[in-house]
Structure 1
Amino acid sequence: MARAMASIEVPVSADRVWQLIGGFDSLPDWLPYIPRSELSEGGRVRRLQSSAGEVIVERLEVFDNRERFYSYSFVQAPFPATGYLATIRVRELADGRASLVEWSGRFEPNGVSDEEVTQLFRGIYEAGLKALEESLAA
């Protein structure tokens, strides 16, 4: 099983960050390469469309509003991985005026090496967190 993780510290309260990213349908609000998201199955499945036209379908596996995290898996995705499970988490830092946002995943490579798929997802997470930082600064 391969794993990837990225994190970023932002000078914004954890509550404010979670308000922006905590909804399972909120990716278009802060992630420019996902301009469309549609919920189904009572809000437990999201159908995403990337700016490149790719379709990604994800299932919400765990949601904890109090602890500010959710985990999701792939139902359909154009990535070389199976058994994908990722988590987005927001942690309040000691002073309460900043937070740490973590995006991590575990998966099995499919047709590529552990290193290749790990680099792919780490790059997606890092780019996403950079976009989040920019959204919060705007």
Structure 2
Amino acid sequence: MSNVSISVEIAAPADRVWAIVGGFNGLPAWLAPVRTSRLSDDGKTRHLEIGTDTRIVEQLLEHSDADRRYSYSILEGPDPVVDYVATIAVERSGENGAKATWSSRFTPNAGADEAKLIAQYSGLYEIGLKQAKALAEGAAPA
């Protein structure tokens, strides 16, 4: 089992950050590689298009606005992993800040390069959280 966790401190209220990252269908707004996201199965399944030819299907496992967190699993995708489960969470940090964390655990398929997968997911999470940070801090009142 492999684990990845990336956190970013954000100079904006946790509720503002959650408004950006907390929607299961909202990835295209803050994760540049995701072109489109479409929900099915009463909002429990999302179909992502990444780039021109990559499609990923994910299932919502848990969503809590009160706790500012959701978890999901990958049902279909190009990566050589099984048992992928990820969580996106936002918590208060300091007086008026937030800490956003995107973490996952997964099992690489036999023969897959675990270090490469960890680096790939780490890079993706960092890109997304940095974009969320820019959006949240840019929306802060002057």
- TM class by shorter chain equals over 0.9
Q: Partner residue of 1:105?
A: 104
Amino acid at match of 1:77: G
- Which residue of the partner structure matches residue 38 of structure 1? 38
Deviations along 1:104-131, one digit per CA (max 9) or x if unpaired, are 0000011323322212211111111122
Q: Match of 1:78, SS?
A: coil
Question: Cα offset for 1:137?
Answer: 3.8
In 1: Cα distance, 2:44 partner to 2:137 partner? 30
- Residues in 1 aligned to 2:104 and 2:74: alpha-carbon distance in whole angstroms: 11
Cα distance in 2 between the residues matched to 1:133 and 1:52: 26
Structure 2 length as normaliser, TM-score? Answer: 0.91
Contact 2:22 2:68 in 1 (8 A): yes
**Residues 1-138 of structure 1 mapped to structure 2, 5 A cutoff:** 1-95=1-95, 97-110=96-109, 111-138=111-138
Q: Which amino acid aligns with 1:106?
A: R
Q: Shift in Å at residue 53 of structure 1?
A: 2.8
Q: Segments of 4+ in structure 1 off by > 6 A?
A: none
Report the AA paired with residue 30 of structure 1.
Answer: W
The residue identity in structure 2 corresponding to 1:72 is Y
**Normalising by structure 1, what TM-score?**
0.93
SS at match of 1:43: coil
Structure 2 contact 12–137 (Cα < 8 Å) conserved: no
SS of equivalent to 2:42: helix
Aligned pair count reads 137
For 1:78-120, what per-residue CA distance to the aligned partner results, in whole angstroms no more than 9, with x for missing partners? Answer: 112111000000001131x210000000000113233222122
Question: Could you tell me which amino acid in structure 1 is paired with residue 37 of structure 2?
Answer: S
Q: Which structure 2 residue ranges, 5 or more long, are not aligned?
A: none
Q: CA RMSD of the aligned region, Å? A: 1.2
Q: Which runs of 5+ in 1 are unaligned?
A: none
What per-residue deviation string (whole Å, max 9, x for no partner) do you get for residues 35-84 of structure 1? 20000000000000012431011000011110100000001111121110
